[in-house]
Chain A
Amino acid sequence: MMVSENFEARLMLGVGILLIGFPWFADWLDEPYLVSTASRIWIYALAAMSLNLLVGFAGLVSFGHSAYVGVGAYVVGILAWHQYEETNFLGLPGTLEGFISIPFAMIVSGIVALGIGALCLRTRGIYFIMITLAFAQMLFYFFVSLEQYGGDDGLMMMDGRNKIPGLDLGEDRQMYWLSLVALGLATWFLRRLSMSRFGMVLHALRQNETRLKAIGVPPYPYMLVAFVIAGALAGLSGALLTNHMEFVSPDFLHWTRSGDLLIMVILGGIGTWTGPILGAIVFLLLEEFLPLLFQEIGLYLFSEHWRLVFGPLLIGIVLFAKGGLHALVFKQMKGVDGAFAN
C-alpha cells in the first residue's frame, strides 16, 4: 500500500512538472483556448481536493462546499470592485493586489467555515448533509440579495485580473501556471497534513468515531480544524476562479455546483490523492468536449443533449465502479508495485 502511494506521489510530481509545458503544447496545436480550459480544470481540482479532505478523509459528506468557493470568489470580486469605484469597504480601501486579496479570500472563507462548521458538526449523517446544504443556500440567497454587488447578475472585475508582482495574470498562460502551482502546493500541504498525527486522527474518525472517543481523543476539534482548512482551500479556489473568469456571481454558490464538486470527488476516487484531480479533469473535459465528440461522430441528438449520456454514466460509476477512476488507473500498478496490497 505504502509503496504504491509513493509511486503515485512520484507520478503526480512528474506529470505536474510536465504540465508546466502545456501552454506551449496548446500553441503547437494552435488551440490557445485549451490553456483557459486547463486553468479551469486545475481550479476546480483544487476545490474538489479540499472537499475530499472532508468527504474522503474525515468521512463528513458536505453538500454545501460551493459556499466557501463562492465566499472566496466574492472577496476577490468585491475588493476589485471597490478599487474600481474608489470607495471603501468597511473603512478599508479596495485592492487589486493579488498578494492581499487572495490570502484575504482564504481567511474569510476559513472564518465562514469556522462559524458554519462549529454548528454543523453537532450533527451526523444525513443531517450533516442537509445542514451544510441549508447554510450554503442561505449564503446563496445572501449574495443574491447583495444589490450593491450586482445581486443575481454578479460582479465584473472591471480592471481585469489581480496584480501579482512578476506575473501578468491578464495573460492566460500565467493564470494557468498560477492555478497549477496553487493546486500543487495544496496537494503537497494536504499530503503532509494527512501523514501527521492530525491526519491519523481524521482517518480514525472516518473508520470508527466511537473507538476514537474511547481512546480519549475528542473528535470535535479535529473535525472543526479540518472543516476550516477545507473552507480556506475552497476559498483559494474561489479566488482563482474569479480571477480566471474576471467575474463572480451567486451561481458559484448554487447547490448544483456543490453537487458537481461531489461528483468530481466520487468520479475520481474518494479518499485518494489523484482522485479529485482525475475527477475534475474528466468531469470538465466531458462537459466541454462530449457535445463536440458526439457531433464529430454524427450523433447529433447526443451532441445537443449530452447530459442524456452523462447522467447514466454517473449512475453507472456510482453503482459499479467503486473507487472511481483512481481504481481504474492504479489497480494494475498496485499489483506490480505493491504485491502485498490486497
Chain B
Amino acid sequence: MKKLLQTLLGTLVLGLGLANAGFTQEPVKIGMVTTLSTGGGYLGQDVRDGFLLAVEEEDGKLGGVPVEVLVEDDGRNPVNGRQIVKRFLDRDRISILTGVIFSNISPVVAPMALKDGIFYISPNSAPSTFAGKECHENYFVVSWQNDTLHEAAGMGATELGYKKALLLAPNYQAGKDALAGFKRFFKGEVIDEIYVKLGQNDYAAEIARIRAAKPEMVFQFLPGGMGINFLKQYSQAGLMKDSAMVVSGFSADIKILNAIGDAGSGIISTSQWNHDLDNAANQQFLLGFRSKFEREPTLYASQGYDTAKLIASALKATGGKVLEDKAGFREALKTAKFASVRGNFRFASNQHPIHDLYIREVVKKNGQMQNRILRKVATDHQDAYVQECGLR
C-alpha cells in the first residue's frame, strides 16, 4: 500500500517536473486564491475574469512578461484558503499572491505570503489593520480600503438630507467596519443597528424590525447573494417606498440589479468606478469584457482588471524580475504607472489607493436596470488609517 502510494506520488512529481522543464523562460507565477463558490462566488469570478482579460489582451503576458495564473477557490472558508496558499508557496512557488475577496480570508493568508517574502496585491478585501498598524512594504491594495465605499455612503446620505437611518450588516469584521465607516461621515441620527449571521438567507425577522422602527433610510452591507435575498424580500414586504435604501457599491452591482429587477429602482449606491465613467482605459475594458464574456462587468471585474494592469506596469519596469529584484518591483508598484479604469489613481503611503468616489442611482434604461452616476462625493479620498501606518 505504502509502496503504491509512493510510486504514485513519484510519478506525479515527475510529471510536474517534466511539464516545467519545457519552458526556456520561466513565466512569473501568480497565485490567485479567490471565492468562486457559495453565494459570493460571482465576486471572485468577476475578479478572475477581469484579471484574465488583461492577461489575454497581451496573449498570456503582462507588461511583455509571460505569466502563469493559478486560480483556486477558497469557498469563503479560511481553512481552505490557508491550505491553498500553503500549496502555492511550497509546491508552486509563486511570486505574487492576489485574488482574495472576503475579509475573513485576507488576515489569514496575507501574513503567510508576507512572511514568505512574496508580494500580496489585493483586488478586493482590505481590512483596516493592514491599512494601519500592520501595514507592510509588500502589501498593496488596488480596490479600496474596506471602509471607503461605506464612508462614501455616509457622505452621500448626508448630502441627500437624510436624518434618521437604520443600519444592517452581517456579524463579522467587514460588517462592523462597514457600519463604522458609514457613521464616520453620516451627520444624522442612527436609530438602530441590526447584525445578522453571515450567509443568512431569510430576513423576515429583521424586516419586521425595520418596519416597526420606521427609519427614513436604511443603510445595509450584505455582500453577494445575501444582499439579493434581502432586497427581494424587502421589496416584497413593500418597504422600498417607506424607507429609502442607501448602500455601498457592493450591494447594488449589476448582478444584484439584474436579479431583483424593477424592485431595485431608486436605490442609491456608492462606487469608485462605474460603467459610464468616460476614460480610454474604461472604454477598452468595457469593450473587451462585454465581447469576451457577453455580460456587464461588475465593479469587482474592474478591480481585477486594474490589479492585472498594475502588475503589468511593474513587470514592465523591472523586465520581469519580481523576487530577484524585490526593491525594484516594489518601487515600480508604488508609482502605479498604469491607466486605471476609474480615472485618477495613486497610492497613499500605506499602499492603499487615493481616488475619487461617486454616488449613483439605479435607473431603468432600454429595459435594463443600471447605475447612473449622480455626482462625485469625494475627490482624492484617502482612508482613515494611513496615519497609523509606519511606512514612509
Binding site for B on A (CB under 8 A): 15, 29-34, 36, 145, 147, 151-154, 156, 245, 247, 249, 251-252, 278, 281, 285, 289, 292-293, 296, 325, 329
Contact = CB atoms under 8 A, between A and B. Distances in A.
Interface stretch (B76-84, B250-258, B287-295): B76-84
Given A29-B9, A31-B13, A293-B12, A153 B173 contact: yes
A269 B1 CA distance: 15
Given A31-B13, A285-B5, A289-B12, A36 B79 contact: no
Interface string B92-104: 0000000000011
Contact of A153 (B2, B87, B90, B107): B107
Nearest to A289: B12
A329 B108 CA distance: 40
Contacts of A36: 86, 90
A152 B86 CA distance: 21
Contact of B77 (A31, A245, A251, A325): A251
B172 A153 contact: yes
28 contacts: A31-B13, A31-B91, A32-B90, A33-B86, A33-B87, A33-B90, A36-B86, A36-B90, A147-B171, A151-B171, A151-B173, A152-B172, A152-B198, A153-B103, A153-B108, A153-B172, A153-B173, A154-B78, A154-B79, A154-B104, A247-B79, A249-B78, A249-B79, A251-B79, A289-B12, A292-B12, A296-B11, A296-B15
A305 B91 CA distance: 21
Interface of B: 1-2, 5, 8-13, 15, 77-79, 82, 86-87, 90-91, 103-104, 107-108, 111, 171-173, 198
Contacts of A296: 11-12, 15
Closest A-B pairs by Cβ, 8 of them: A33-B90, A153-B104, A33-B91, A251-B79, A152-B172, A249-B78, A154-B78, A152-B198
A251 B74 CA distance: 13
B226 to A, nearest CB: 13
Given A34-B9, A251-B77, 10 more contacts: A30-B13, A31-B9, A31-B13, A151-B171, A152-B104, A152-B172, A152-B198, A156-B107, A247-B78, A252-B79
Contact of B10 (A29, A152, A249, A325): A29
Contacts of A34: 9
B12 A247 contact: no
Contacts of A325: 1
Contacts of A32: 90
A247 B108 contact: yes
Nearest to B106: A153
Contacts of B11: 296
A296 B12 CA distance: 8
Nearest to B115: A160
B198 to A, nearest CB: 5
B9 A278 contact: no
B12 A154 contact: no
A278 B13 CA distance: 22
B1 A153 contact: no
Contacts of B91: 31, 33
B111 to A, nearest CB: 7
